[in-house]
Each structure stands twice: as C-alpha cells, then as structure tokens.
C-alpha cells in the first residue's frame, strides 16, 4: 500500500515533466502521513517554477531505499533535498550523511503525537559537526521550499529575480496592512 501511495504522490505532485525538465529538488518524507505537512514545500517550488519530485523514503522501514536515494540523487540532477519526518526523525540526517547535496530538514508533528513535534525537531537539528542539515521550524515545510529556492537561486539569475520579487511582494503586503491600520 505504501508503494502504491508513494507512486500516487509522485505522479500527482511531480512537476516540470510537461516542460521537459528533470526535477531539481527532491522532497522526501518518512511516511505518506507526512504529506499533509510536506505538500507546502512542493507548492512553494511550483510557485517559483522549480521542478521537483515527491516520494516516501523511510529511514527505518525502507533503509536500503534511503541509501539508494541519497547516494544517487545528485547523479540524477537533484540540487537540493528536502526531507521531512516525525518522531525519531532520522531521515534528514542519514540522507545528509550520504549525499553531497544540501539537505533541508522538516520536523513533522504526526497526528496524535504526544510530543508536539519536539522529538522530531531535536532529532533533526542536533547533527554532529561535519554533517549539516538546515532545519526549519516544526511543520514549516513552506520555509524548506523557500530555502531550497534560495540555494538554487545562487546559480540561477532568473530564479534570484523571482525570489527578489517574492520578497518585495511580502514587504508591500505588510506595508499595505500597516497603512490600513494607520488610516
Ligand atoms: C515517521 O513516523 C514518519 O515520518 C511519520 O511522521 C511518523 C508516523 O508514520 P506513520 O505511522 O503514519 O506511517 O517515521
């Protein structure tokens, strides 16, 4: 069932195929139950026109799949990996140990979790020196998407312009709200 839902997720959310581009960002998660959180990263990448792939890779339930994914992602043209997991969230760190790519970690708060995602946050953020994972706030997959865009934008002038426009848009929105409050 996991494999079936994984391919469903991948086919529903994989972007860029129509444009004939391969995915530039890999979004992986420990379970399809993480998708409700992780889809925000895919939505951000879609907004910026960055093709991505989305699938399930579990550190504990599919360790060999994790090895394969982490070791080969850069050879397939992936430039950054966003990895989300809940609980004993070993996926981002283990993937970071086997890939030369930047890894952004998303602590997921699973439904009904007792520790509110703090367990996942500490599992992901507390990496040993030499194996970095850029960790975002609990559940903030949108920021993971934005961070991946910024990483890619360092060598993609058009993407850099889109990030600048996004930032100007945020500023204008806040200034508009301030002006309305002051009136
Ligand atoms: C973690 O356990 C997953 O990343 C998910 O957040 C959590 C629950 O997984 P399921 O039991 O819903 O598959 O490994």
Distance of CA 62 to the CA centre of its chain: 19
Distance from Cα 117 to the centre of ligand 1, integer Å: 11
Distance from Cα 86 to the centre of ligand 1, integer Å: 6
Judge whether 38 and 46 are in contact, CB under 8 Å. Answer: no
Distance from Cα 111 to the centre of ligand 1, integer Å: 9
Confidence of residue 14 (pLDDT cuts 50, 70, 90): low
**CB-CB neighbours of 97 under 10 Å:** 15
ipTM of the complex: 0.96
The model's pLDDT over 87-143, given as tens digits with 9 standing for 90+, comes to 999 999 999 999 999 999 999 998 887 899 999 999 999 999 999 999 999 999 999
Distance from Cα 18 to the centre of ligand 1, integer Å: 31
CATH fit for domain 2-156, picks 3.40.50.1970, 3.40.140.10, 3.40.50.1370, 1.20.1630.10: 3.40.50.1970
User: How far, in Å, CA of 64 to CA of 127, rounded?
Assistant: 21
Max Cα-Cα span within the chain? 60
User: How far, in Å, CA of 76 to CA of 149, rounded?
Assistant: 18
Q: Write phi, then psi, for 143 (nearest 5 degrees).
A: -65, -30
CA dihedral 93, 91, 135, 70 (to 10 degrees): 70
Q: Where are the alpha helices (DSSP H) in the chain?
A: 2-13, 35-47, 63-72, 91-98, 118-125, 141-153, 157-182
The structure's pTM equals 0.90
Q: Say if residue 17's pLDDT is above 80.
A: no
Q: Which residue's CA lies nearest to atom 9 of ligand 1?
A: 31
**Which atom of ligand 1 approaches the CA of 110 most closely?**
6
Q: Which residue's CA lies nearest to atom 14 of ligand 1?
A: 30
Confidence of residue 18 (pLDDT cuts 50, 70, 90): very low
Query: What local confidence, expressed as pLDDT, does residue 113 receive?
Result: 79
Coil, strand, or helix at residue 112?
coil
The model's pLDDT over 61-76, given as tens digits with 9 standing for 90+, comes to 999 999 999 999 999 9
Query: What local confidence, expressed as pLDDT, does residue 20 receive?
Result: 57
Q: Say if residue 11's pLDDT is above 50.
A: no
Query: What local confidence, expressed as pLDDT, does residue 147 receive?
Result: 98
User: How far, in Å, CA of 8 to CA of 23, rounded?
Assistant: 17
| Pocket residues: Cβ below 6 A from ligand 1 | 29-31, 33-34, 58, 85-87, 108, 110
The model's pLDDT over 146-176, given as tens digits with 9 standing for 90+, comes to 999 999 999 999 999 999 999 999 999 999 9
Ordered by start, the domain boundaries in the chain are 2-156
């Amino acid at each position: 069932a996991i494999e079936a839902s994984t391919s469903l997720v991948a086919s529903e959310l994989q972007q860029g195929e129509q444009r004939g581009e391969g995915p530039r960002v890999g979004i992986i998660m420990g379970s399809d139950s993480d998708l409700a959180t992780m889809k925000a990263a895919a939505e951000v990448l879609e907004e910026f026109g960055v093709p991505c792939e989305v699938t399930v890779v579990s550190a504990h339930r599919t360790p060999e799949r994790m090895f394969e994914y982490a070791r080969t992602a850069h050879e397939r043209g992936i430039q950054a990996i966003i990895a989300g997991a809940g609980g004993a969230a070993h996926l981002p760190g283990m993937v970071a140990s086997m890939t030369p790519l930047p890894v952004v970690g998303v602590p997921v708060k699973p439904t009904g979790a007792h520790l509110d995602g703090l367990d996942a946050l500490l599992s992901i953020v507390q990496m040993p020196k030499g194996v970095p994972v850029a960790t975002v706030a609990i559940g903030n997959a949108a920021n993971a998407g934005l961070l991946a865009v910024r990483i890619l934008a360092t060598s993609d002038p058009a993407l850099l312009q889109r990030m600048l426009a996004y930032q100007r848009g945020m500023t204008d929105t806040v200034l508009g709200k301030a002006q309305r409050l002051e009136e």
